[in-house]
Amino acid sequence: MPVLRHIMATHSGDARDRVDLNSENIKFDTNIMEAAGVCGIEVATRGLVGGSGSNSPPELDSLGCPDHLKGFELVRGCCSEEVRGETPGREDSPLDRHNAELDPGGGSGKIKDQKGFGKEVILLMHALNTLASPEEKLAALCKKYADSLEESRGMQRQLKALQKKQSQIVKEKIHLQSEHSKAILARSKLESLCRELQRHNKTLKEENMQRSREYEERRKEATLHFQMTLNEIELQMEQHNAHNSKLRQENMELAEKLKKLLEQYELREEVPETVGPLQGQHIDKVFKHKELQQQLVDAKLQRTAELMREVEEKQQRERDFLLKDATESRHKCELMKEQETQLKQQLSLYMDKFEEFQTTLAKSNEVFTTFRQEMEKMTKKIKKLEKETTLWRTKWETNSQALLQMAEEKTLRDKHYKALQGKLERLEKLCRALQKERNDLTTKLGDLQEASKKPEAEETGPPDPQPSPECIQNASLVPGGEEAMQPSTTPELEPEFSISTTEQLDN
């Protein structure tokens, strides 16, 4: 497309240069023609009318001169070459020099153009040399440059339309390229976001798995420790229960022994005082021994009570510690469950976002494919338009050539028509002169008939009128003029005579 733009810009610059040069040449030629009083119509009418004022008609060969036709044929060739972008005899403009400086590799094309310009100048000089008078040369140049100006204007209009169409296509292409670049940037951003989201999801999954494993290990350790402590407590409670039952059994046995001793003591108190001193000592010893045993049992019982109290306190402390640990572990378990639910919600949210991202990515891929298809269609359309422009350019060149030929044919027909019109005017003048002479002769004949009044003259009729030498000279210049000199007796045949002469001239 930049190449096409450069070519069209160079063509438009050449067309503007040609239009400026042609307009300057036309202004110069029109000024010269206004000063000299020369125009194509004046040249044609000067030969017809003849400024001498004599009654003799001008020569007809001066109107249809073949030299004029040759000159205009050569001028037509020069015009057709100028339509193709070459102006005969044109010097290099400053714009051409600037383009030559910018394009140093175009020296060979410039040399060829100069050779073509030299040939065109030679052809133009030959065409102008074939013409007789400088007025005709100026008229030919005026005609050529007017045609070239119209053609250059038509070329400029078509070039402006093509440039407008090209600018619209270029704008559409730039817009599509910007949209394409935006779509590519959006796609790259979406891909980077997708990668970051996948990485973040992967890290979250790994962290959640690690936390869940740690939580499971801690929970297993806590349950195992709790179970071990419960087993130890149960074992200690069983041991204490067995020890307590044993102590209870011993206490019951001691209570029975004390009961028996009390019964024996009561029985001994009932024994009379007649018992000897030895037996009393023995009884005192037994009582002391029993007291000592009772003190020992009381000490053991107190010690066992203290041990029981210490064991109960220890069990209470352990129970409180285990309950506290269980509540803390339960609270941690609830917190971990809440975190697990939150992480599951976040994971579901990320999954939804990822699905939305996948749908948007699929849509963007579809849009990208449609955009690529539209770009291919636009490239095909641009190629088609370029082909159409080349086709229209060739059609325009052929039409311009045909228009030049038609213009030349029209000029030839106009000249032929003017020549025929001049012939018709001369024939009408000749007819009027003949009619006037015929009327004079009829009046003279009537006077002679009235004067003679003879029957022979009435039977034979009037003598034939003799035309004047001037009429004979005028009729000799016109084909069929001798037939036109014969007078007719009826005045109604005058229009038919003029029509027949015009038909003979047309033939």
Amino acid at the residue 506: D
CA angle, 37 then 127 then 118, to 5° = 115
Q: Are 15 and 156 in contact (CB under 8 A)?
A: yes
- Predicted pLDDT at 421: 92
- Predicted pLDDT at 343: 86
Q: Are 198 and 43 in contact (CB under 8 A)?
A: no
Q: Are 153 and 19 in contact (CB under 8 A)?
A: yes
- Predicted pLDDT at 193: 86
**Which residues, 6+ apart, have CB-to-CB distance to 407 below 8 Å?**
147
- Predicted pLDDT at 51: 36
- Predicted pLDDT at 412: 92
Amino acid at the residue 269: E
Q: What is this structure's pTM?
A: 0.29
- Predicted pLDDT at 460: 57
Local structure of residue 260 (DSSP, 8 states): H
Q: Are 475 and 482 in contact (CB under 8 A)?
A: yes
Block mean pLDDT (10 aa), the chain, length 507: 44 47 44 40 35 37 39 44 41 41 47 61 77 80 82 89 89 88 86 86 86 86 84 84 84 82 74 53 76 83 84 85 84 85 86 86 85 88 89 88 88 92 93 94 90 63 50 44 40 40 44
In degrees and rounded to multiples of 5, residue 256 shows phi and psi of -65, -45
Q: Are 89 and 124 in contact (CB under 8 A)?
A: yes
Q: What is the DSSP string of 365-378?
A: HHHHHHHHHHHHHH
In Å, what is the CA distance from 400 to each residue of 83, 118, 124?
8, 23, 20
Residue 34: is it exposed, middle or buried by C-beta count within 10 angstroms (0-12/13-18/19+)? exposed
- Predicted pLDDT at 428: 93
What are the structural domain ranges in the chain?
2-49+58-165+382-412, 185-268+279-371, 430-506
- Give CA–CA dist 283/281, Å, rounded: 5
Structure-token pair, residue 432: 């009027």
